[in-house]
Each structure stands twice: as structure tokens, then as C-alpha cells.
Amino acid sequence: MPGIDYSQKIPNNVDLASDKRLQRALEEWQPNYIEWWKSVGPTDFNTNDIYLRTAVSVEADGWAHFGYVKMPEYRWGIFLEPQDPARTIGFGDHYGQAAWQQVPGEYRNWLRRLIVTQADTEPASVEQQRLLGHTAPSLYDLRNLFQVNVEEGRHLWAMVYLLHTYFGRDGREEAEELLQRRSGNPDHPRILGTFNEPCEEWLSFFCFTMFTDRDGKFQLLALAESGFDPLARTCRFMLTEEAHHMFVGQTGVARVIERTCQVMKEHPGKDVKTYGAIPLETIQKWINYWNSSSNDLYGAEISSNAANFFGAGLKGRAYEQRYGEHKALEATYSLERLSDGRIVREEVALRNAMNEVLRDEYVKDNEKGLEYWNRVCEKHGNEFRFRLPHRRFNRRIGDWSVARFDLDGHPLDEAAWQRLSPQWLPTEADRAYVKSLMKPVREPGQVASWIAPPAKGVDGKPLDFEYVKL
């Protein structure tokens, strides 16, 4: 495994130079990608120097190099974790057989679909976030936004490399399509619902990176188990980048909470809006909205596709090695289902419940994030406690999408939902208030009224460091 070669037009650690055909194909895709970045990526700021990290090695320690970069000159490239020649398939019908280095013919379409679905989310989120640079609450946050954006761009590169390398002509066509679909475009939308939702203010950005990027983490964990070795190795390296995105979300929301708690302490009994802070109840609504939307990304509770992907060895469970049994042929999974308007428990074949198994891990991980936020409230002596909505709440996909449920997952009739849901989900007035706060703050070290400063800067730099040169 060579190190990352930055002398190439496309930085890579896959010895791209020795495969001239592939190199040419990717070099033809590259200008289209840059064109896409400039037309629907971050608006403006493409000529500014931004303090960004770039991968210098795929080793877990010290893989990043920090320095000023103009975004269109970011060294997007192809980085896979090193190959383990002894690796075997860790689950499904082919358990124990040697991992595939080429696409298994019988699973070609399924595998392409999995890769395209993952790939499509990467440019989608960049499109969703494209206007946020104009209203960043600090230079530190502006820099973090762009770091997330360039890394999502790199994730697109990672998936396009797989399509070009292993799927021939239809892979190349899919790679083109990835630059054609548009987030929120009714005629040519992105594949998955959440990635078409507008993300127009920073509270949504922080909730998106907390909840939607965390879906990304679990999808990548499941694909990192894949028997198709190049996909597994690609996803492992993507996971190291994803961790930063969730950090941005978790600490971003925590800083908003912190600021509100400070205002409540300083001005007891007063409306925090008077002081330009965001009410804790409003933050909870944003949590409810983005968490419920992201729950949908795991798909239906019972899914024959999920069973097929698992059986074929293409998409496993997160942390597959933690399980004692890897074929999941005999086992069942106990699930709640809706039957004649009542919630009943049912045993289903485990393979058919793989979407739900992955969602379980996701919910557990989110709960830790909620505890972190509640510790901020505790620290300030504030009695408010945040919560995750029940996974049945506000769903658009799967069993629960056909009915209404409250935050605890209790069924509601439509009239009750209409009456109560404005307490749970952002209203027009809530959105208008949050948007009214979105004024850019561009003095190094300064932050907007509605958010506390970060605990520390990036790469050991002070808070008043010039993270973006404007």
C-alpha cells in the first residue's frame, strides 16, 4: 500500500498512476466535479483562504495536515485503508470465505445500488448547506462548515472511485448522475428524503451534523463490514472524517444550550428572546424534527432488501464482530408493529429486521449525545431536560408513517396531532425567529448572541485565530 501521492492530479493511495484508463476516466470526471462545486457548493468564499485539514496518511494517528487552502484547490482524493490480504467475509451466507476484491457478479446490481445511495448523500448535504457561510456565528464555525463541506466532497470522490473502478460503463453513468441530481429539486431530487430538506439556518446545521451525519456513521459502519473489500476499506477511512462532523453538531447544539442557560440565569423570569438567545423548548423542536427525519434514513422496519444485502455479505451490522453468530439465519428479532391501530409485539426473522437493528444502534448513540446536552443544563442549574423523540414520532417511512404518535410513541388521532404537533415541531414563527438571529459575525474571536464560544479552537489555535481570511 503506497502512501498518499500528492504529486498526482488526483491525490491517492491506490497507485492510480499504474491504471491509465481509470486515471483518465477520473481526470475527466474531475472538472465536472469542480464545476458542480462552484455552481451548487458553498456560495462565495471560494477565493478565501480557509484553515482546513487535509488527509496526509490513512493511519489513525496524525492523518491530518492543517493549513490555509482555497476550497476549490482542496486536495480531494482517493484514500482507502490498507488491505488485509487475509480478510474474510464476516457475516451472511458467505461467512468465512475470502473477501471479494472484485464485484461478485450475482450481486452487482445490489452493490451498485448501495454505493450510489450512500454516494448521493454526500453532494446532497453540501448543496443543503450552501448558503450557511453567509450567516456563520463566528469564523470558527465558518471554518467548521467548510471543513464538513470539503470532506463530504471527498466522500463523493471515494464512492465515485468505486463506481469507476468496479462498475464499468454504468458506474461511470452513475458517477455523472451524482453531479446532476439536486437537493430539494422536485424534478430531479436527491435519493433520500432528509437530504432534500432545506437547511437554512445554523441550528438546523448543528442538528443535521448531529443526527443526519450520525446516520452516515452507522451506514458507513455497516458498509465497512462489507464482503466487497474495496467498499469496506473506503468506508473505514470515511468514518475517521465523519467523527468530526458529529463533533461539530454535538458541540454546536451544546453551545446554543449553554448560551440560553446563561441568559436564563442572568435574567430570571425574562423571555430569552429579548436577549437574542434561542428558547430551550425551541431547540427541543429542532431536535424532534431532525432526529425523526434521520430515523427514516434506516428504511422500513421489515425489509427484504435489508435481508438480501445481509445474506449476500454486502451490508452487515454495525460492529458485526460484537455478535456471536454471523449468519443470522435462525434467529428472530422482537419488534413492535401496528395492527388495526394497536401496537403489538411480533417476532420476525432477524435478517428481515436488519434496518431496525441498525436503527437501534443509532438511537443508543443519540441518547449519549442527549446526556451530554443535559449535562450543560445541569451545570447551569437549569431544570430543563432534553429528550429524544420516540422512534415512532413523525415518521414518513416504514410502519409508523401511516399513523400519528406523540413524543413517547403513543398513538394519536389526526385532530390531536394537528392540535399538539406545533408544540413538538418547528412552527413558521419559530423558524422566522431563528432565522432572524442569523447575522454573520466575522471579527476573529467574536460570536453571535445566540451561541456560546467553543471550549477550544481548532488544531491548538486560539479562539481569536483567523480561521477564515476574509
- Which positions from 211 to 230 touch Fe ion by CB under 5 A, shown as an x/- string? --x--x--------------
Nearer to Fe ion, 145 or 283 (CB): 145
Sequence-distant (≥ 6) Cβ neighbours of residue 72 within 8 angstroms: 34, 37, 38, 46
For residues 379-398, which are near Fe ion according to CB under 5 A? none
Please state the closest distance from residue 245 (CB atom) to Fe ion, in A.
4
CB crowding 126-162: b at 16 or more within 10 Å, else e = bbbbbbbbebbbbbbbbbbbbbbbbbbbbbbbbbbbb
Q: What is the enclosing helix (H) or strand (E) of 207?
A: helix 202-207
Nearer to Fe ion, 242 or 258 (CB): 242
Q: Is 347 helix (H, G, I), strand (E, B) or coil?
A: strand
DSSP code per residue over 60-128: SSS-EEEEEE-GGG----B--PPP-TT-B--SSTTTTSBPBSS--GGGHHHHHHHHHHHHHHHHHHHHH
- Which positions from 107 to 126 touch Fe ion by CB under 5 A, shown as an x/- string? ---------------x----
Cell of 28: 475527466
Please state the closest distance from residue 384 (CB atom) to Fe ion, in A.
29
130 binds Fe ion (CB under 5 A): no
Nearer to Fe ion, 220 or 463 (CB): 220
Q: Per CB under 5 A, which region of 68-76, 98-106, 243-251, 382-390 contacts Fe ion?
A: 243-251
Nearer to Fe ion, 248 or 407 (CB): 248
164 binds Fe ion (CB under 5 A): no
Q: Are 345 and 333 in contact (CB under 8 A)?
A: no
Q: How many positions of this chain bind Fe ion (CB under 5 A)?
A: 7
φ, ψ at 468 (rounded to 5°): -130, 130
236 binds Fe ion (CB under 5 A): no
Q: Looking at the DSSP assignment, which residues form a beta bridge with residue 69?
A: 50
Q: Per CB under 5 A, which region of 45-53, 59-67, 237-245, 386-394 contacts Fe ion?
A: 237-245
Q: Pick from 155, 255, 285, 315: which binds Fe ion (CB under 5 A)?
A: 155
Q: Is 314 helix (H, G, I), strand (E, B) or coil?
A: coil
Nearer to Fe ion, 245 or 404 (CB): 245
Please state the closest distance from residue 301 (CB atom) to Fe ion, in A.
25
Q: How far is it, in rounded angstroms, from Cα 310 to Cα 354?
A: 8
Q: Pick from 154, 181, 236, 245: which binds Fe ion (CB under 5 A)?
A: 245
**CA dist 434 to 381, 427, 429, Å?**
25, 11, 9
Please state the closest distance from residue 366 (CB atom) to Fe ion, in A.
15
Please state the closest distance from residue 152 (CB atom) to Fe ion, in A.
5
Residues that bind Fe ion (CB under 5 A): 122, 152, 155, 213, 216, 242, 245
